[in-house]
Amino acid sequence: GQSLEQPSEVTAVEGAIVQINCTYQTSGFYGLSWYQQHDGGAPTFLSYNALDGLEETGRFSSFLSRSDSYGYLLLQELQMKDSASYFCAVRSSASKIIFGSGTRLSIRP
Amino acid sequence: GAVVSQHPSRVICKSGTSVKIECRSLDFQATTMFWYRQFPKQSLMLMATSNEGSKATYEQGVEKDKFLINHASLTLSTLTVTSAHPEDSSFYICSARGLDSINEQFFGPGTRLTVL
């Protein structure tokens, strides 16, 4: 079967750094994406990694290791508005993306 | 950035009725549109993928006769929930992808369906 594993919940302090891990097992792999979703809202695209290594976009960075079927999202200088659910997603074919179960990030002042 | 709209944002209906949800790409041509269902505090479950002008491809376990999908143009796809029942109550989200964004999907704001 196809599966993506990520922690269900993570708690961090405002201003700190947090890493959300994702391991995957899929029949095909084109790349790993990360999406952010606030309660009641739609997912918004954060990043996409097709090759191994670290991609940095402002306070957010995403890492991929294809040999380990592993990736992570790194959030720096956490702000209260970063409290949301974060989904990793694998593009397993030309037209299909499979989502993980989501990690709910709670940030304390 | 690319914008996707959905209508209605919220609908409440009686059991047995049909509900149509529209998904539009406002500033790009969506060659592929996806329909997802999301239950509270759960992940997005892909229901079907549709390409403009062709029949939708449904995921295993999704009844094609119950969830009718039409992708009539490069900017519009519709999902019709036929003979809705309370267990169909969920958050339905569409997403769209254009030729220039094969690695990224743009999501609509979602439609909250409540079946009484």
B87 φ, ψ (degrees, to nearest 5): -70, -10
Give the Å distances, CA to CA, from A52 to A36, A56, B6. Answer: 22, 13, 35
Residue B35 pLDDT greater than 90, yes or no? yes
Q: Tell me the pLDDT of chain A (109 aa) as tens digits.
A: 688 999 999 999 999 999 999 999 998 999 999 999 998 888 998 999 999 999 998 999 999 999 999 999 999 999 999 999 999 999 888 778 889 999 999 999 9
| pLDDT at residue B101, as a whole number | 67
User: Pseudo-torsion of CA B50, B54, B60, B62, nearest 10°?
Assistant: 70
Query: How far A37 CA lies from chain B's nearest CA (Å)?
Result: 10
| pLDDT at residue B30, as a whole number | 86
The answer to whether B19 contacts chain A (CB < 8 Å) is no
The answer to whether A66 contacts chain B (CB < 8 Å) is no
The answer to whether A38 contacts chain B (CB < 8 Å) is no
Q: Tell me if A99 and B43 make a contact (CB, 8 A cut-off).
A: yes
| pLDDT at residue A42, as a whole number | 87
Mutation pick from B6, B7, B43 vs chain A, by most beta carbons of A within 10 Å, is B43
| pLDDT per position as a tens digit, A66-97 | 999 999 999 999 999 999 999 999 988 877 88
| pLDDT per position as a tens digit, B39-72 | 888 888 999 998 887 889 999 899 999 999 998 8
Residue B83 pLDDT greater than 70, yes or no? yes
| Residue of B103 and B85 predicted with greater confidence | B85
| pLDDT at residue B41, as a whole number | 80
Q: Tell me if B43 and A97 make a contact (CB, 8 A cut-off).
A: no
| pLDDT at residue A2, as a whole number | 80
DSSP string, A4-36: EE--SEEEEETT--EEEEEEEE-S--SEEEEEE
Could you tell me which residues are beta bridge partners of residue B9? none
* Cis? peptide before B8, omega within 30° of 0: yes
- What is the rounded CA–CA span in Å between residue B77 and residue B74? 8
| pLDDT at residue B1, as a whole number | 64
Query: How far A98 CA lies from chain B's nearest CA (Å)?
Result: 8
| pLDDT at residue B40, as a whole number | 84
Q: Tell me if B32 and A43 make a contact (CB, 8 A cut-off).
A: no
**Closest CA in chain A for residue B108:** A42
Average pLDDT, chain B: 90
Which residue of A42, A95, A99 is in closest CB contact with B49?
A95
Surface of A (6-35) touching B: CB under 8 A: 30-31, 33, 35
